[in-house]
Structure formats: C-alpha cells, structure tokens
C-alpha cells in the first residue's frame, strides 16, 4: 500500500531555511486522483495545514505562511519537498506529509512525522 | 479562515460507554468535514470523511453526522484502543483548518 516518509534535518538555526522531503512508495505521485500536503503540529498551535501540491505543479498555501513557504515536486523520484525560510522558534513542530484524495478533502495517508527544532 | 471549535475538550468515559464529540465551524462548510484519531506519539488517523463516511478499516462503532456548521462524532461501545485525542477538520476552503482536539480518557 502507499506509504509516505519524511526526511530532513531535525535541527535548524533561526533565520535559516527548513527543508524536508517526503518520499512516496507503493504508488505514483503523478496520480491525478491525489494531491500532496504538508501539515505541522506543535503544542502551541495544534495541527496546522501548511500547503499542498498537485503533480501538475499547482500549489495552494496557508496565507499565514505563504510568504515563507514553497512546496515542490519531483516526479522522477516520487518525492515532494517543503522549504520554509526565515524560521523562528515558532516553527518548531512535528512536520507531516500527507495525501489527500481529490474526491474529498481529508488526509487519508500520513507519513510518520519528523520533529524539527529551531534553535541556535 | 474558518475556525473550528470542539466540545468538550476532555471527556472521561468507561469501556462500553457511548461518547459524542461535537465540532462547530465558524461558517457553513456543507459536509466537508473529517474526523481523526491520534494516540500519544502517533500519527493522526482518518476515521470519517465528508461528515459521515467511514474510512476503510475503521470499526463501525464510529459514526459521524451533521452538515452546515454543526457536526458530531459518536463512538459506541468504547473500547480500550479508542482512548485518544480526536480532531475535526474542514476541507471546504483554504486554509484547511483543524479543531483543537477532544481527549477521551479512561474513567
């Protein structure tokens, strides 16, 4: 079955860029029935949707983060990535990648999550 | 942004009980509501989508209802593995938003 796996550094310095990759296995990221999302969870803000991307390249972002966030996709590697620039301690969270079927806007498959701490 | 609220924030219940959690949206979201279960240190798991559709593999003791701004998740015959935190999420407009969660604990 389809599985998602996040990877990337667990510690990022303030003002630098947080970069994470989600590898999709057991299915194709190019499947137009799905789109690919990033979500984060922190004690202070709960679950927060960051943004999503279709394999076609269409993106949607949370306005609260839009100026600092970019999601990209690499269909040849079956991966999609998240960059958050100018990070602060408020960006410390568990970051999840997740799949959404285009037929309904709910997150049906999640990666295991990766903890990212912003600290000098 | 559409604000999602949940009540209660905490419920204490016993095995075999029926528990109902409510979720309120700040504006009409039709039926674009999902429910998730999260256990400590684990990944959220989709239980219900489009307000009342049971995700494949989820036990039938879970059910969802509602439309517009008011929704509920009911767990009948509560089992030990059901003690967790439950979140609602709206999927009608960006940004998708989640409720703050309801923790179901063992009495």
Spell out the per-residue pLDDT of chain B, length 107, in tens.
999 999 999 999 999 999 999 999 999 999 999 999 999 999 999 999 999 999 999 999 999 999 999 999 999 999 999 999 999 999 999 999 999 999 999 88
Interface test with A, best of B96, B99, B102, B103 (most A CBs within 10 A): B96
> Which H helix or E strand runs over B65?
strand B62-67
For chains A and B, what is the number of CB pairs under 8 angstroms?
A: 56
List residues of chain A with CB under 8 Å from any CB of chain B: 46-49, 60-64, 96, 100, 104-108, 110-113
Q: Is B66 on the interface with A (CB under 8 A)?
A: no
Look at the block and give the residue holding tokens 């030990």: B80
- Answer yes or no: is pLDDT of A45 > 80: no
The residue of chain A nearest to residue B36, with distances taken between CA atoms, is A107
Q: Is the dihedral of CA A23, A24, A26, A31 positive or negative?
A: negative
Contact by Cβ (8 Å): B19, B11: yes
* Mean pLDDT on A57-71: 94
Q: Rounded to an integer, what distance in angstroms lies between the CA atom of residue A46 and that of residue A67?
A: 21
Residue B46 and residue A105: Cα distance in Å, rounded?
11
**pLDDT value at position A43?**
83
Give the H or E element holding residue A8. Answer: none
Average pLDDT over residues A42-59: 91
- Looking at chain A, the whole-number percentage of residues with pLDDT higher than 70 is 100
Contacts of B49 in chain A (CB under 8 A): 104, 106, 108
B54 inside 8 A of chain A by CB = no
Average pLDDT, chain A: 95
- The confidence band for A50, taking pLDDT boundaries of 50, 70 and 90, is very high
Asked whether the bond before B92 is cis by omega within 30 degrees of 0, the reply is no
Task: Tell me how far apart the alpha carbons of residues A118 and A18 are, in angstroms, rounded to a whole number.
Answer: 9
Predicted local confidence at residue A55, as pLDDT: 86
Structure tokens at B102: 């309801």
Closest to B45 in 3D by CA, of A101, A98, A58, A7? A98
Hey, are the CB atoms on A106 and B89 less than 8 Å from each other? yes
CB proximity list for B64: less than 8 A, separation 6 or greater? B33, B35, B47, B48, B51, B52, B53, B54, B71, B72, B73, B74
Considering only CB atoms, A107 lies closest to which of B46, B95, B97, namely: B46
CB contact under 8 A, A107 and B55: no
- Quick one: pLDDT at residue A57? 87
Whether the pLDDT of residue A44 is over 80: the answer is: no
Shortest distance between the Cα of B94 and any Cα of chain A, in A, equals: 7
| CB of B34 closer than 8 Å to CB of B91 | yes
| Banded pLDDT at A52 (limits 50, 70, 90) | very high
Contact A110 B91 (CB under 8 A): no
pLDDT band at A48 (very low <50, low <70, confident <90, very high): very high
Instruction: Mutate one of A1, A41, A45, A47 to test the B interface: name it (highest B CB count within 10 A).
Output: A47
**SS3 category, A29:** coil
Alpha-carbon span A55 to A74, nearest angstrom: 9
């Amino acid at each position: 079955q389809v599985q998602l796996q996040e990877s990337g550094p667990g510690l990022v310095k303030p003002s630098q860029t947080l970069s994470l990759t989600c590898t999709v296995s057991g299915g194709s990221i190019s499947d137009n029935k799905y789109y690919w999302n990033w979500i984060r969870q922190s004690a202070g803000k709960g679950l927060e949707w960051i943004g999503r991307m279709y394999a076609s390249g269409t993106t949607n972002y949370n306005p609260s983060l839009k100026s600092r966030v970019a999601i990209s996709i690499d269909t040849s590697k079956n991966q999609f990535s998240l960059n958050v620039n100018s990070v602060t301690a408020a960006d410390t969270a568990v970051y999840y990648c997740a799949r959404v079927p285009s037929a309904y806007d709910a997150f049906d498959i999640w990666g295991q999550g990766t903890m990212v701490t912003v600290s000098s | 942004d559409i604000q999602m609220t949940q009540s209660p924030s905490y419920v204490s219940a016993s095995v075999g009980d029926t528990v109902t959690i409510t979720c309120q949206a700040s504006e009409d979201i039709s039926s674009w509501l999902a429910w998730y279960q999260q256990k400590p240190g684990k990944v959220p798991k989709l239980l219900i989508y489009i307000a009342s559709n049971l995700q494949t593999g989820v036990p039938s003791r879970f059910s969802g209802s509602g439309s517009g701004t008011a929704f509920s998740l009911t767990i009948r015959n509560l089992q030990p593995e059901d003690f967790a935190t439950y979140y609602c999420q709206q999927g009608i407009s960006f940004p998708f938003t989640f409720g703050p969660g309801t923790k179901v604990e063992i009495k």
